């Protein structure tokens, strides 16, 4: 089953064009939607999750028209929003039970089995009786995935799932996500390049509401091969390098800026060639309209 997004547009009442002719085809597996803050990722995710309307364009999930057949889509959908509210004193198990009812699982025994199996799967069974409000960031995200996966969805959308997780929690969350993608479309929206690098076979980069790239992460790197150069410089020279070269990224290594620039030919001047990685792809694409 494919998710086909065609010419999707959305302008908010304040005039911000959050989506401009977005067209993407997303197949089964893990799909990364990468973009800086404000790129339009959440707008797209909420539209796909039937929570908000687009101005124009179409979205097709298999035979379903997502923008119109909302109820049908919701039955196939698992959604983990950027932030989700929980009732303060409700336990993880009670909350999942409640969500399972909303997803149409009416048989009590079946529901209990399903909920407990899901708690096991996300490694929260031992915490099932605790209030979710007391969970750590990582536990909350794993609970979020549990609620999104209840009722075997065909389309799973997770919006900025690793923001605020420590490295250990992030790893556990990665492992959990990568188990899901086999028969399901999983869309992972993030501004963290590493999330996409580690998990996704296909991806899109969006910025200012536009698709800047779509395809496998590796293909985008190949396109940049031979064009990325690096040099360690001193801080006070940064501005002059910026005016002279197309600087795509700057990071501090041992306190000194290491810059990556884009150039079709050897810039000399102490620059050395580097193998482009996804981060270079991301920054070079994002700067095209910035």
Can you read off the two tokens belonging to residue 184? 């399901």
Binding-site residue total for ligand ADP (CB under 6 A)? Answer: 12
User: Which three-class secondary structure state does DSSP give residue 133?
Assistant: helix
Instruction: Report long-range pairs for 243-249 (Cβ below 8 Å, ≥24 apart).
Output: 246/287, 248/280, 248/283, 248/284, 248/287, 249/279, 249/280, 249/283
Q: How far is Cα 287 from Cα 89, in angstroms, rounded to an integer?
A: 46
Rounded to a whole number of angstroms, the CA Rg of the chain reads 21
Is residue 37 a contact residue for ligand ADP (CB under 6 A)? yes
Is residue 35 a contact residue for ligand ADP (CB under 6 A)? yes
Among 42, 47, 214, 284, indicate the residue that binds ligand ADP (CB under 6 A). Answer: 42
Is residue 217 a contact residue for ligand ADP (CB under 6 A)? no
Stretch that binds ligand ADP, among 37-45, 87-95, 215-223, 267-275 (CB under 6 A): 37-45
Among 7, 12, 68, 218, indicate the residue that binds ligand ADP (CB under 6 A). Answer: 12
Among 3, 5, 8, 18, indicate the residue that binds ligand ADP (CB under 6 A). Answer: 18
CB-CB contact of 284 with 224 (8 Å): yes
Is residue 9 a contact residue for ligand ADP (CB under 6 A)? no
- Work out the number of other CB atoms within 10 angstroms of the CB of residue 112: 15
Q: C-beta of 201: minimal distance to ligand ADP in Å? A: 22
Q: C-beta of 60: minimal distance to ligand ADP in Å? A: 21
Residue ranges in contact with ligand ADP by CB under 6 A: 12, 14, 16, 18, 35, 37-43
């Amino acid at each position: 089953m494919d998710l086909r997004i065609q010419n999707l547009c959305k302008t908010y009442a304040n005039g911000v064009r959050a989506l401009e002719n977005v067209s993407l085809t997303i197949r089964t597996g893990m799909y990364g939607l990468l973009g800086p803050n404000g790129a339009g990722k959440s707008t797209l995710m909420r539209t796909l999750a039937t929570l908000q309307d687009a101005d124009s364009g179409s979205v097709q999930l298999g035979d379903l028209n997502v923008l119109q057949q909302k109820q049908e889509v919701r039955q196939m959908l698992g959604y983990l929003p950027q932030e989700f509210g929980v009732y303060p004193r409700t336990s993880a198990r009670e909350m999942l039970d409640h969500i399972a009812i909303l997803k149409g699982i009416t048989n009590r025994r079946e529901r209990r089995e399903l909920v407990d199996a899901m708690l096991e799967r996300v490694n929260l069974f031992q915490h099932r009786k605790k209030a979710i409000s007391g969970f750590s960031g990582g536990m909350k995200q794993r609970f979020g995935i549990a609620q999104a996966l209840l009722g075997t969805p065909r389309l799973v959308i997770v919006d900025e799932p690793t923001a605020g997780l420590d490295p250990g929690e992030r790893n556990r969350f990665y492992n959990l996500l990568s188990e899901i993608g086999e028969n399901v479309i999983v869309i992972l929206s993030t501004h963290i390049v590493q999330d996409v690098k580690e998990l996704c076979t296909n991806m899109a980069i969006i910025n200012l509401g536009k698709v800047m790239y779509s395809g496998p992460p590796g293909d985008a790197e190949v396109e940049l091969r031979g064009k990325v150069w690096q040099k360690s410089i001193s801080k006070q020279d940064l501005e002059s390098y910026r005016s002279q070269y197309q600087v795509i990224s700057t990071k501090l290594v041992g306190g000194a800026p290491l810059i990556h620039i884009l150039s079709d030919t050897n810039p000399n001047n102490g620059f050395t060639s580097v193998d482009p990685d996804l981060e270079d792809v991301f920054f070079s694409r994002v700067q095209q309209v910035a």
